[in-house]
Chain A
Amino acid sequence: MTVTKADASVTTANNEPTGETEPVGSARSERLSALIQQHGALAVLVLVSLVASFSFDSFATGDNVSNMATSSAFLAIVALGMTFVIITGGIDLSVGSLFALGGVLAAWGSRHGTLVALLLPLAVCGLIGVVNGLLVARSRLAPFIVTLAAMLGARGLLLAITDEGADTFLIGKGSFLAELGQGTTLGLGNPVWITLALFVAGAVVLRRTRFGQHVYAVGGNEDAAALMGAPVARTKILVYTLSGLLAGLAGALNAAWLASGVTILGNGMELEAISAVVIGGTLLTGGLGYVSGSLVGVLLLKVIQNVINQIGSLDSSYQQVVSGAFLAVVVIAQTWLGRRRQLM
């Protein structure tokens, strides 16, 4: 099931032009490099899933797949926003904190109705995203340091709201919000469907709209984009806002799923999201990337995590070692492939 979903979304991107100029005399090896870069993660995902379903009886069961899909959904929403930011050549380290903040705000707001519960996290996290964007685009500060500060500030805000983490707000049973997070449609959790819808929308925005073109242009060459008349600053502000909004939404949905706003969530989530985006074939240097790849990256991370859990005897810290090693291998492969493509 996991694989099918990833397959479907990758095919969408595959049929569309990459928006990159093909070098003259594109040799076969050059095309192969591009293919590996774009679909390497998918191949590994299929391989790992196949091996896992043969090795562990409990892997390819409906319950396990549906669990994996739901737990992937929240990270995937965060990774979607991160993809936009990274394609512009930036980075957003604040998403983990915004995810936790969004969850707490949603749970706090749920006592005032579903509308407040959904709008409050979006408003606050979106606003922090706007501030990130303004500092990066208008004041020209380094994205990683701005969003690092936002990560710290948002975590501080979260602690301030919850009496230093002592208060946990609950989401009442039977409310629309709880249904949104916990209910299922056609066997899959509602968050999974929301995530899929967001990814389709994200792919359309990135590929088919002027804004999407600007995102690629800014990441490809900022000066050239400015000379061509692309609104560089506005595009950057928008991507950081989008990343903040999506992180807040993911947090709110996660809180709805857990029925409470847990304050300690989201630690290290920015790293997971960045890893997923990079594994999915998006270049950290900007200008090239795929929304579908990020989804595959998230699924791959979650499948690896699941496999490590299945092994059982392995401690969960092995997962970090594997993730780190995997990220290093992917980055080496990508740099190598990228250089090859440029040299051709």
Chain B
Amino acid sequence: MAEATLRTVPLDKARVLQWLQTYGVYAGVAALLVVNTVITPHFLSAENFRTQAVQVAPVIIVALGMALVIGTEGVDLSVGAVMALAASVTALYLGYGLLPALLVVALFAAAVGLANGALVALVGVQPIVATLALMVGGRGLALVLLPQLEDLRNPSLASLGSGDVLGIPYLILIAAVLAVLVAFVVRRTTFGRQLLAIGDSRPAAQLAGLPVRRVLIIVYVVCALLAAVAGVLATARLQASDPTSLGNLMELSAITAVVVGGTPLTGGRVNIAGTVAGAVLIQLLTATLIKHDLPPSWTQIAQAIVIVAAVYAARGRGKR
């Protein structure tokens, strides 16, 4: 009898927590939308939505890759550096045309991802440290290649950054297509299942005969490529290559979006829709604080609290 009561109480609490973990991020986005509609002037304008969406698109793209890496119980701190590297390389090779420049960017990003993946999968280095090395080195390399901000005047790059189809900016379209693609890969492909199995338990995946090393390396390469896409898009939007500050703290924003979206840091589970919503939530929160003239310091403190709250709500989830 006592046992039964003991069991029901935590069960209810667990149910609430589980609801929060799964739908909390959407509830948060909805709440912010409602609150802003009431308190923020000109919030419900197409112009404002467009601005917010264009700003959040690069974060979403980076967070998609981060979600995959976190799904394998890893983390990639080098994404911001890869964005900077993409910006430098774009500026250097833009003279040969946009497409060749993009190819070289992809090569550089793949090399960084390969290095990350090889360190994690082949050498067995912890993901935090492996990607830390690439984060420091990658940003350095970006600055060596292009020491200062450079304005870019290239019509095709400009149209990539500010053009649209039927009123929807390319940036948003690309982010949406990539999100659907990544969600499809996670849910419907063998690769996605293998990725989650590795995140659940690497030894078990190994014993089951899964190609653990190959999958891990591909995941880090994909993450770096997505970060490079975000870097190119951000550069296109700015119309300038800014290796000093582009992508600073991006790893933090991406990890926050993933975690707030209900993907546990312990791996084995990936929630792509939640990740997109997580990025939107943080963007809306920041925009709300800024629109009401709260200083950036408050934004940072608020973001810190959101991160801790999200991780706290997600604790005990996933495998133990």
Which residues of A pack against B, CB within 8 Å?
A: 91, 135, 139-142, 144-146, 148-150, 152-153, 155-160, 164, 268, 271, 274-275, 278, 284-285, 315, 317-325, 327-328, 331-332, 335-336, 339
Contact A157 B301 (CB under 8 A): yes
Interface assignment of B44: CB less than 8 Å from any CB of chain A:
no
* Other 18 A-B pairs with CB < 8 A, given A324-B136, A327-B136: A135-B308, A144-B75, A145-B265, A152-B301, A152-B303, A156-B300, A164-B295, A268-B136, A315-B143, A317-B140, A320-B137, A320-B140, A324-B138, A328-B115, A328-B133, A328-B137, A331-B129, A339-B124
Tell me which residues across on chain A come within 8 A of B142, comparing CB atoms: 317
* A contacts with B: majority SS: helix
Q: Which residue of B lies closest to A154 (CB)?
A: B304
Interface assignment of B305: CB less than 8 Å from any CB of chain A:
yes
Which residues of B pack against A, CB within 8 Å?
A: 75, 115, 119, 123-126, 128-130, 132-144, 147, 249, 252, 255, 259, 265, 295-301, 303-305, 307-308, 311-312, 315-316
Please give the distance in Å from A344's CB to the nearest CB on chain B.
17
Contact B124 A323 (CB under 8 A): no
Contact A319 B315 (CB under 8 A): no
Please give the distance in Å from B204's CB to the nearest CB on chain A.
20
Would you list the 6 A-B pairs with minimal beta carbon distance, nearest first? A324-B137, A320-B140, A156-B300, A317-B143, A159-B297, A153-B304
* B contacts with A: majority SS: helix
Tell me which residues across on chain B come within 8 A of A319, comparing CB atoms: 140
Q: Which residue of A lies closest to B264 (CB)?
A: A142
Contact B315 A271 (CB under 8 A): no
Q: Complex formed: what's the CA distance from A322 to B137 in Å?
A: 7
Tell me which residues across on chain A come within 8 A of B296, comparing CB atoms: 156, 159, 164
Contact B124 A321 (CB under 8 A): no
Q: Complex formed: what's the CA distance from A152 to B307 in Å?
A: 10
Q: Which residue in B139, B141, B298 is a CB contact (below 8 Å) of A156?
A: B298
- Beyond A141-B312, A141-B315, A150-B304, whether A325 also contacts B137 by CB under 8 A is yes
Q: Complex formed: what's the CA distance from A318 to B304 in Å?
A: 32
Tell me which residues across on chain A come within 8 A of B249, comparing CB atoms: 152
Contact A145 B137 (CB under 8 A): no
Q: Complex formed: what's the CA distance from A116 to B205 in Å?
A: 56
- Beyond A141-B312, A317-B147, A321-B140, whether A148 also contacts B128 by CB under 8 A is no
Contact A320 B307 (CB under 8 A): no
22 contacts between A and B (CB under 8 A): A91-B128, A141-B308, A142-B311, A144-B128, A145-B265, A145-B311, A156-B300, A156-B301, A159-B296, A164-B297, A284-B126, A317-B142, A317-B143, A317-B144, A321-B144, A323-B136, A327-B136, A328-B115, A331-B133, A332-B123, A335-B124, A335-B125
Please give the distance in Å from A331's CB to the nearest CB on chain B.
5
